[in-house]
């Protein structure tokens, strides 16, 4: 089981604390292009020879594939073409040498990326077929393309027509795609995020993309950002880069770490405030690239003036728009005795008295972003009481009485969110001036929700829903819904639930949380004596399976999860004996300091 990398919450100089490490090698060199440069028959299936061809996985740095060999047969040409697409740094110059003249002129490999596990090359006369297993696709900007419904191990078949030019075989109809093995993808690509604003322009919303590492990364990131939010996401997020804005050339980075972003003239029509928001999007997006310390926008070589900054803008600017919410408390909270406590350093301090407001030990606790308000669910799971910090002189109030309420959640606008299980499924409720009201949540109403968590930026709700057998959490699954807000940031509805994939099956899901702004954590209990935390990407991708360091199995009975996606990121598991186990940077579980006897621990949100 593998861990996903840290989030984009707090930004140190040069982006050190929010960068996401490169993809870990998870596939053997033996799974690279089996056809290689082996001697191939004219008909029938092609088999690998005993000698492996050079590959990007074998090379620690650059990989410069050879061009077509004189006299190469059709299957050898196709195999060489596929191998040439693994050139590092990314270039299609050599791959184009395997194409016919007309084909090379019209080839558009930038339209999508196709990643595969193992190829099987078959040749029939002048046509070559390539069968690929374990495939997934990225769109032209590196965004994950959802798999076909019901396909667990998707396959793809590519057909290559061949022609002789000057006595040599060449490809006449190459797919308009970069076609690379998963081993190449996992060593040469990296997950980044594009940063758009929520509709109120109050917080940045990260959207994952997968792009090649190297000098081309800044150009690819800015190009993807200029394309705007994905179709269907316009109800959730927006961009302040004017529609139709283009890069005039590439985005070079000078020796001082300054990226030059040459844009077309539409940005000059923006107001000063809008230019600041554009600069914030660029700062957060470019700040993920190692070595990029600052950037400069320009039009026709003239710097674009952004109020409040110089012509060179530091990528660490505009922390107030952090998707992890820069103003949020970073302390751990919980219940000890008859009080809500806040763990400051290693010392728990009383934050609010439960008193008579809750009859008996509470079932769950939710804390607002500033750590000043607390929502407590009573032991029977029916009553939700809101408390204020001691000294606020605000009396406890009953916010809701229902049937079976899960852990309360607070969004950054200080609204209370509840998920209630009913006899026929589940429903989502949101706080309002008059109490709480139900909100449409397509895909959850008919499901039994086991646990749920709202993202810090308030744009995503993740839920673990029950397996197919009633009453069973074995085979549970994760789903994600987007939050659509209206005027004054009032939540209006949730978008239909879509699946979120984990590297391993979810067995007895107990809790979910946010590891970072684009990564979900699920606490499971695969056996009576062990617990496990599984991670998943918000875009539903399996592109990141095998990422980063493994998370150890926890040899204890976990009962709940406490996760903080920012300032710095933290993840803890509370055990049945009221102990806390904290995940360290290398995937090990260590006892949490100052937390003995702390019940229902949680971070804000």
The 10s digit of each residue's pLDDT in 503-515 is: 889 999 999 999 9
371-380: pLDDT as tens digits: 999 999 999 9
Residue 36 in this model has a pLDDT that exceeds 90 = no
Q: Which CATH architecture has domain 332-602?
A: 7 Propeller (2.130)
Dihedral angle sign, alpha carbons of residues 567, 460, 441, 150: negative
Contact 207, 197 (CB under 8 A): no
pLDDT given at position 260: 98
Q: How far apart are the C-alpha atoms of 373 and 379, rounded to whole Å? A: 19
DSSP β-bridge partners for residue 88: 63
Angle formed by the axes of helices 217-226 and 272-286, nearest 10°: 140
pLDDT band at 14 (very low <50, low <70, confident <90, very high): very low
Residue 547 in this model has a pLDDT that exceeds 70 = no
pLDDT band at 23 (very low <50, low <70, confident <90, very high): very low
Higher pLDDT, 102 or 358: 102
pLDDT band at 154 (very low <50, low <70, confident <90, very high): confident
**Mean pLDDT across the stretch 378-399?**
91
User: 353: exposed, middle or buried (C-beta count within 10 Å: 0-12, 13-18, 19+)?
Assistant: middle
**Mean pLDDT across the stretch 108-134?**
92
pLDDT given at position 473: 62
pLDDT given at position 355: 81
* Region of residue 167 (left: phi > 0; alpha: psi -120 to 50; beta: else): left
**Mean pLDDT across the stretch 480-503?**
93
447-482: pLDDT as tens digits: 999 999 999 999 999 999 997 655 566 679 999 999
Residue 48 in this model has a pLDDT that exceeds 60 = no
pLDDT given at position 470: 59
How many angstroms separate the Cα of 69 from the Cα of each of 127, 238, 501?
19, 50, 43
pTM recorded for the entire structure: 0.87
As a residue count, the chain comes to: 605
pLDDT band at 34 (very low <50, low <70, confident <90, very high): very low
Residue 392 in this model has a pLDDT that exceeds 90 = no
CA proximity to 313, closest of 356, 259, 374: 259
How many angstroms separate the Cα of 332 from the Cα of each of 365, 549, 593, 600?
12, 25, 11, 10
Residue 467 token pair: 């397996």
pLDDT given at position 568: 79
pLDDT band at 4 (very low <50, low <70, confident <90, very high): very low
Residue 200 in this model has a pLDDT that exceeds 80 = yes
Contact 532, 524 (CB under 8 A): yes
Q: Which range (419-433, 459-473, 484-498, 537-551) has the least confidence? A: 537-551
> Strand 435-439's sheet: what is its strand order?
409-410, 416-421, 426-432, 435-439
**Mean pLDDT across the stretch 339-346?**
90
In three-state secondary structure terms, 484 is strand
In three-state secondary structure terms, 366 is strand
pLDDT given at position 16: 35
pLDDT given at position 595: 63
**Mean pLDDT across the stretch 309-336?**
95
How many angstroms separate the Cα of 113 from the Cα of each of 72, 156, 175, 176, 544?
26, 13, 10, 9, 15
In three-state secondary structure terms, 293 is coil
Q: How far apart are the C-alpha atoms of 79 and 84, rounded to whole Å? A: 9
What contacts 107, CB < 8 A, 6 or more positions away? 92, 96, 99, 174, 176
Alpha helices in 256-353 (DSSP H): 272-286
Domain ranges across the chain: 23-187, 332-602
pLDDT given at position 472: 60
Residue 45 in this model has a pLDDT that exceeds 90 = no
261-296: pLDDT as tens digits: 999 999 999 999 999 999 999 999 999 999 999 999
Location of structure tokens 């989502």: 428
**Mean pLDDT across the stretch 142-151?**
71
> What is the chain's mean pLDDT, rounded?
86
What contacts 287, CB < 8 A, 6 or more positions away? 11, 15, 18, 315, 316
pLDDT given at position 451: 97
**Mean pLDDT across the stretch 344-348?**
84
pLDDT given at position 474: 65
Q: How far apart are the C-alpha atoms of 537 and 92, rounded to whole Å? A: 30
pLDDT given at position 126: 74
pLDDT given at position 597: 79
């Amino acid at each position: 089981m593998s861990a996903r990398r840290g989030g984009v919450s707090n930004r140190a100089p040069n982006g050190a604390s929010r960068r996401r490490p490169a993809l870990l090698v998870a596939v053997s060199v033996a799974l690279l292009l089996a056809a290689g440069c082996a001697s191939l028959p004219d008909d029938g299936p092609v088999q690998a020879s005993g000698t492996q061809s050079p590959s990007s996985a074998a090379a620690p740095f650059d990989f410069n594939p050879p061009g077509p060999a004189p006299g190469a047969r059709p299957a050898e040409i196709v195999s060489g073409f596929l191998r040439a697409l693994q050139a590092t740094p990314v270039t299609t110059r050599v791959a184009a040498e395997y194409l016919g003249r007309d084909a090379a002129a019209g080839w558009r490999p930038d339209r999508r990326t196709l990643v595969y596990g193992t190829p099987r090359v078959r040749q029939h006369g002048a046509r070559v077929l390539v069968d690929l297993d374990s495939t997934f696709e990225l769109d032209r900007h590196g965004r994950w393309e959802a798999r076909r419904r019901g396909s667990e191990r998707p396959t793809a078949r590519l057909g290559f027509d061949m022609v002789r030019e000057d006595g040599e075989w060449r490809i006449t109809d190459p797919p308009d795609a970069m076609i690379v093995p998963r081993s190449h993808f996992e060593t040469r690509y990296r997950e980044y995020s594009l940063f758009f604003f929520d509709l109120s322009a109050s917080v940045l919303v990260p959207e994952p993309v997968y792009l090649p590492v190297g000098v081309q990364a800044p150009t690819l990131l800015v190009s993807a950002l200029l394309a705007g939010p994905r179709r269907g996401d316009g109800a959730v997020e927006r961009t302040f880069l004017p529609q139709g804005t283009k890069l005039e050339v590439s985005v070079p980075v000078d020796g001082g770490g300054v990226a030059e972003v040459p844009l077309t003239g539409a940005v000059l029509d923006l107001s000063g405030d809008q230019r600041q928001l554009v600069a914030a999007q660029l700062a957060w997006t470019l700040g993920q690239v190692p070595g990029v310390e600052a950037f400069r926008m320009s039009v026709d070589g003239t710097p674009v003036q952004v109020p409040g900054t110089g012509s060179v803008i530091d990528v660490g600017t505009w922390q107030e728009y952090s998707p992890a919410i820069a103003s949020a408390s970073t302390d751990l909270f919980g219940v000890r005795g008859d009080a809500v406590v806040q763990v400051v350093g290693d010392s728990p301090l009383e934050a609010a008295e439960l008193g008579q407001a809750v009859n008996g030990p509470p079932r769950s606790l939710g804390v607002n972003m500033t750590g000043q308000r607390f929502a407590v669910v009573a032991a029977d799971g029916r009553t939700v009481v809101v408390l204020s910090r001691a000294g606020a002189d605000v009396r406890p109030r009953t916010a809701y009485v229902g049937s079976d309420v899960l852990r309360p959640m607070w969004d950054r606008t200080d609204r209370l969110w509840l998920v209630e299980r009913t006899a026929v499924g589940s429903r989502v409720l949101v706080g309002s001036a008059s109490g709480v009201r139900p909100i449409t949540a397509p895909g959850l109403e008919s499901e039994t929700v086991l646990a749920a968590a709202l993202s810090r930026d308030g744009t995503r709700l993740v839920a673990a829903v029950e397996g197919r057998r009633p009453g069973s959490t074995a085979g549970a699954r994760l789903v994600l819904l987007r939050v659509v807000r209206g005027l004054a940031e009032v939540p209006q509805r949730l978008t239909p639930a879509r699946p979120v994939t984990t590297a391993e099956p979810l067995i007895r899901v107990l809790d979910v949380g946010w590891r970072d702004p684009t990564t979900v954590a699920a606490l499971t209990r695969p056996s009576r004596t062990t617990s496990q935390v599984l991670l998943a990407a918000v875009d539903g991708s399996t592109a990141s399976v095998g990422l980063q360091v493994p998370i150890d199995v926890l040899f204890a009975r976990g009962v709940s999860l406490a996760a903080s996606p920012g300032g710095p990121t933290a993840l803890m598991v509370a055990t049945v004996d009221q102990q806390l186990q904290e995940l360290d940077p290398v995937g090990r579980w260590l006892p949490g300091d100052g937390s003995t006897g702390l019940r229902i621990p949680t971070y804000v949100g």
